[in-house]
Amino acid sequence: MASQTYNAGNIQVLEGLEAVRMRPGMYIGTTSSRGLHHLLWEIVDNAIDEASNGFADEVTVTLHKDGSASVWDNGRGMPVDTHPTMGIPGVEVIFTVLHAGGKFNNENYDYSGGLHGVGASVVNALSKWLTVDVFLNWTHYRMAFTSEMNPATHKVEAGKPAGPLEIIGNTRKKGTLVRFLPDDEIFEDVKFHTETVARRLQELAYLNKGVRITFTDERLPDPESRTRVFCYDGGITDYVRYLNAGKNALQEDIIYLEGRRDSVICRAAIQYTDGFSESLFSYVNNINTPEGGSHETGFKAAFTKCFNDYARKAGLLKEKDNNLAGEDFREGLTCVLTTMVKNPQFEGQTKGRLGNSEVRPAVEAIVSQQLLDWLDNLKNQEAATAIVTKAIRAAQAREAARKTRDNIRKASQLEAAPLVGKLASCTGRKWEDNELFIVEGDSAGGSAKQGRDRRFQAILPLRGKPLNVEKKHLDQVLANEEFRSLITALGAGIDESFSLDNLKYGKVIILSDADQDGAHIRAILLTFFLRYMKDLITNGHVYIGMPPLYKVQKGSNVIYAYDDRELAKATRAAGKGYTLQRYKGLGEMNPEQLWETTMDPSQRKLMRVTIEDAAEVDRLTTVLMGDKVEPRRDYISEHADFNRPDDFELPEHQQAGRREGGE
């Protein structure tokens, strides 16, 4: 085997990869399902880099039945010639030397994605095996790597070449094919998630105009639905149209800006809707930056200034009027902003913010110049006027809401009067430990109040369906009794004045029936949190409680089942002569049952609400909660499965463990 021929320098190289297995979290953040997917993104990003730098136009991603994943691009093919200083083939360097990716990137590409820039070697280190096929110079090369235990030392040797670089034969193809099997000794869960992969590939296809990404999941039973192709000749313009599917666009045309300054490339696609929320999604080198950063700051500054100047020139703002605020111009805005940056620095808690300070003036200059051109164009005058008029109305609504909000804030601080008879508060003093259950209906609310542990559990019953806030201004939301109670109960303010510092509960748990009405109420509450208390969700305070669907009883032996699979298991275990009760709503449970099944922390199941993909959450929220009927009907008939998703299945203590792994 090749290992015998290694010199001292190479042994050190191999030790490097073992470090990855010792502390995988350092390289991929986590060994949870998210970390597993990072492996795939790392390889996909290399393929996309090859495409976005103009060397490839096809990328294929396949999930295989044996649990492995493969990625192919029709680019130049990874270098196979001998590395000048290391004396081993280029591919071997790429897959066995830590951070080789970074060095190669700078030489070979102007711009490069990559989630942590950790490179292909980390994927190799965390895989049971990995193979790479290179199609180059009419020759098909192959090299294989494995992570196996050395019987002499009883240690796993990570990502070792299984043999030398081989020539398989002649080929007319060009490109690189990488296939790997994630190591089940490293990852808690080694199953790739079809929809997670599909969504990311679709996003990449939108961000990389014209690249054809074919995704095949060979594990799916139905051959018809195994393969999906993502390819958008309109790029981010198509992306904005897709995001706005559930919204009413104010103008048909999408504003498209593009420019380059020094090494910064910036593109933006913009469309206004009659909605009230701001949907700005920004990317740097194909990586989402949910926390914004210097590119967003530059964009916003240019946008606000150009439109204010225009409003004055057009006489829509008078001399005595104040300038409009940036947020007024962004009400109802859907925008995808992408930037290509050399050596991007990602900052913030989740590395979701661009730090490079040189990017701000570059983006500002590009957007200003492009937007001025757009505003100068005669055919855009009508659209520009509509945007300014909308912003003026937004400013007025903002002022009205500020007054109401200040009143509410005073009310919530000074007196809890509006809550009397509604909220059953808890006695505990530590906010982190306290839980607020938002319960659908007065009868379930009554059971919850009796069944709870009043030391740390508070109950807020909801009467009827709350207001759908998706198409409401803040002042209308604040006029709604149910939401006022909720805002007062949480004690943390709302919208701009929202602050986790004043939050009174560590967990906010939505408890609604397992039927369509319950799902609607849950969706309304989540929409409210998303639009007005987003930090509550992003900081992991929002949960969905899971009441059981069935009770299987035989004698004194009771089993609760939370979905159909569990029901089958329970009835099998019970054998003959059991009684089955199907719970139609929370109200059917007595206080003890509700405590046992849904509220008792040692037994209940909770699902924590997260926002993995902000653009998709925004799109689905408007599709499902907005006022356009068509897209909603299409979505529901396509996804008409009201069964519970897999995520619902872990009991809470297990979920907590998984969470720790995920952070």
Active site positions, annotated: 440, 513, 515, 517
Identify the three-state secondary structure at position 230. Answer: strand
Count of residues touching ligand 2B7 (by CB under 6 A): 21
**Does residue 269 belong to the site contacting ligand 2B7 (CB under 6 A)?**
no
CB-based burial label for 611 (10 Å; 0-12, 13-18, 19+): middle
Q: Which residue is nearest to ligand 2B7 (CB)?
A: 46
Rounded Cα–Cα distance for residues 383 and 190 (Å): 50
Q: How far is the CB of 84 from ligand 2B7 (least distance, A)?
A: 14
Other CB atoms within 10 A of residue 198 CB = 16
Residue 27 binds ligand 2B7 (CB under 6 A): no
Contact between 101 and ligand 2B7 by CB under 6 A: the answer reads yes
Q: Is there binding between residue 133 and ligand 2B7 (CB under 6 A)?
A: no
Q: How far is CA 208 from CA 17, 202, 203, 375, in A?
A: 32, 10, 9, 27
Residue owning tokens 């059953």:
424
Among 36, 94, 280, 537, binds ligand 2B7 (CB under 6 A): 94
- The distance of closest approach from Cβ of residue 89 to ligand 2B7 in the complex, given in angstroms and rounded to an integer, is 12
* Given 16, 24, 35, 75, the residue binding ligand 2B7 (CB under 6 A): 75
**And the tokens for 414?**
């000074």
Residue 543 contacts by C-beta under 8 Å, 6 or more apart in sequence?
A: 507, 508, 509, 510, 606, 607, 608, 609
Nearer to ligand 2B7, 44 or 245 (CB): 44
Q: Assess 47 for contact with ligand 2B7 (CB under 6 A).
A: yes
Residues between 49 and 68 that touch ligand 2B7 (CB under 6 A): 50
545: which residues sit within 8 A by CB, 6+ positions away?
437, 509, 510, 511, 598, 599, 604, 605, 606
Of 104 and 498, nearer to ligand 2B7 (C-beta) is: 104
How far apart, in whole angstroms, are the C-alpha atoms of residue 245 and residue 119?
A: 36
Q: Which amino acid is at 58?
A: E
String of b and e for 313-333 (b: at least 16 CB within 10 Å)? eeebbeeeeeebebbbbbbbb
Binds ligand 2B7 (CB under 6 A): choice among 20, 28, 63, 71 = 71
**Is residue 76 within the footprint of ligand 2B7 (CB under 6 A)?**
yes
Residue 163 CA, distance from chain mean position: 39
The two tokens of residue 139 are 């020759």
- Greatest C-alpha distance within the chain: 84
Q: Which of 14, 36, 40, 43 binds ligand 2B7 (CB under 6 A)?
A: 43
Binder of ligand 2B7 out of 33, 68, 176, 485 (CB under 6 A): 176
| Using rule CB under 6 A, residue 127 touches ligand 2B7 | no
Under rule CB under 6 A, residue 145 binds ligand 2B7: no
Quote the least distance from Cβ 43 to ligand 2B7, whole Å. Answer: 5
Nearer to ligand 2B7, 35 or 114 (CB): 114
Q: Between 3 and 108, whose beta carbon lies closer to ligand 2B7?
A: 108
Closest CA to 28 of 38, 18, 19: 38
Written as one string, the DSSP assignment of 470-509 is: GG--HHHHHT-HHHHHHHHHH-S--GGG--GGG---SEEE
Which span sits near ligand 2B7 by CB under 6 A: 162-170, 171-179, 356-364, 443-451?
Answer: 171-179
Binding region for ligand 2B7 (CB under 6 A) out of 104-112, 220-228, 372-380, 533-541: 104-112
Quick one: 30 or 121, whose CB is closer to ligand 2B7?
121
178 interacts with ligand 2B7 by CB under 6 A: yes
* By the rule CB under 6 A, 139 interacts with ligand 2B7: no
Residues that bind ligand 2B7 (CB under 6 A): 43, 46-47, 50, 71-73, 75-79, 94, 101, 104-105, 108, 120, 176-178
